[in-house]
């Protein structure tokens, strides 16, 4: 019999922003044919999986609220990312995305200060509520100051990734 996730012992989590950390960010990526992995991103995820860490993607997706693409597009892209990660032995344990924006075209996505939209920590806090996370050993990686702030506001150490090879950037974190 499998233990429920909540009964499992806490383990550290790697929280990753998506655009600019996992994939190149030319702006509003929502189709697989436009998706390009950042060098070392798939390998980094697989290495943290192998080390027993949770891996969560936490991504602002204001393109949904702005009407550029739909939530189904975001879910389809994440599903394809997961299929591609399997080819290198990696997996994302959960994807969290925020379609809300203060100036969203659609009223249902408009919020003056969306709690899940980074720099707010809502997505990280939700992941920690849904999974047994050892917050003291966890890490947030983003390419924007708002990503770093979201991690810090969630009580998680945070690093700013400014490009290059993500696996090389994170290698010391696995020691």
H or E segment and range at residue 72: helix 71-86
Residue 29 inside a domain? The answer is yes
Residue 99 inside a domain? The answer is yes
Residue 110 inside a domain? The answer is yes
Number of separate domains in the chain: 1
CATH number reported for the structural domain that contains residue 42 in this entry: 3.40.50.1000
**Six-digit token pair at 129?**
């509520």
Residue 65 inside a domain? The answer is yes
Q: Mind telling me the catalytic residues? A: 17, 19
Per-residue pLDDT tens, the chain, 175 aa: give them: 455 565 789 999 999 999 999 999 999 999 999 999 999 999 999 999 999 999 999 999 999 999 999 999 999 999 999 999 999 999 999 999 999 999 999 999 999 999 999 999 999 999 999 999 999 999 999 999 999 999 999 999 999 999 999 999 999 999 8
**Cβ distance 146 to 22 under 8 Å?**
no
Residue 7 inside a domain? The answer is no
- For 110, other C-beta atoms within 10 Å of its C-beta total 14
Q: If DSSP codes are grouped into helix, strand and coil, which group holds residue 82? A: helix
């Amino acid at each position: 019999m499998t233990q429920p996730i909540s009964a499992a012992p806490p383990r550290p989590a790697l929280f990753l922003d998506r655009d600019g950390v996992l994939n190149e960010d030319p702006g509003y990526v929502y189709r697989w044919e436009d998706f390009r992995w950042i060098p070392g991103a798939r390998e980094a995820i697989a290495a943290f999986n192998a080390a027993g860490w949770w891996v969560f993607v936490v991504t602002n997706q204001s393109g949904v609220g702005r009407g550029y693409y739909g939530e189904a597009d975001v879910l389809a892209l994440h599903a394809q990312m997961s299929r591609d990660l399997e080819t290198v032995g990696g997996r994302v344990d959960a994807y969290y995305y925020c379609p809300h924006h203060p100036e969203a075209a659609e009223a249902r996505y408009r919020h003056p200060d969306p709690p899940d939209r980074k720099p707010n920590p809502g997505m990280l806090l939700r992941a920690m509520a849904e999974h047994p996370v050892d917050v003291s050993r966890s890490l947030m990686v983003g390419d924007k100051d708002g990503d770093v702030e979201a991690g810090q506001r969630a009580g998680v150490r945070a690093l700013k990734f400014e490009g290059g090879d993500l696996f090389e950037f994170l290698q010391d974190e696995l020691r």
